[in-house]
Amino acid sequence: MNTVFWILILVGTFCIMEFMAWFTHKYVMHGFLWSLHKDHHKKDHNSWWERNDFFFIFYAAVSIGCFIGWQYYGFWAGLPIGLGIFAYGVAYFMVHDIFIHQRFKLFRNANNWYAKGIRRAHKIHHKHLGKDKGECFGMLVPPLKYFKK
């Protein structure tokens, strides 16, 4: 398989995952599976684990399914697609869970223009405690207005 094509599929999958995260967040998490997501907006327990974390497990399973398809069924695109989903999951975890929500105390001093924009957009998203009237459903590419001073 052509290496450039393989890399394009991986990068394309990563980019498509931002749309998938936005779509899933807006129409699934703030829709019919709000029961799993609501503890992320209004913590109603003392656990480090949130019901919202089941969405991470879903995308991990999709990524693993792609790896299985590549390894055992000859689906050559399964590897770059699975890696693209995995890479997006790592980026999402680093930005959302570690940087923004400080589930691990890392990256506390990040204060560049991107970090400030991401924080602003996520703060606006979390000002709504209910499932309705939400905004800023994406993660890595929020609207440009949040990057302005």
Please return the burial class of 112, using the count of CB atoms within 10 Å of its CB with bins 0-12, 13-18 and 19+.
exposed
pLDDT (tens digit, 9 = 90+) per residue, 58-108?
999 999 999 999 999 999 999 999 999 999 999 988 887 778 777 767 666
Instruction: Report d(CA 90, CA 139) in Å as an integer.
Output: 12
d(CA 37, CA 56): 11
- Tell me which DSSP letter residue 81 carries: H
Q: CA-to-CA distance for 107 and 114, rounded, in angstroms?
A: 13
Segment 11-65, tens digit of pLDDT:
999 999 999 999 998 899 889 988 888 877 777 777 777 788 888 899 999 999 9
24: closest CA among 49, 48, 54?
54
Contacts of 53 (CB under 8 A, 6+ apart): none
**Helix, strand counts (H, E) of the chain:** 5, 0
- Dihedral of CA atoms 114, 115, 116, 120 in degrees, nearest 10, equals 100
- Ordered by start, the domain boundaries in the chain are 1-146
What pLDDT score does 111 carry? 77
Residue 87 · residue 112 · CB < 8 Å? no
Chain centre distance of CA 63 = 13
Distance, C-alpha 7 to centroid of its chain: 21
Per residue in 103-139, pLDDT tens?
Answer: 767 666 777 788 788 888 777 777 766 677 777 677 7
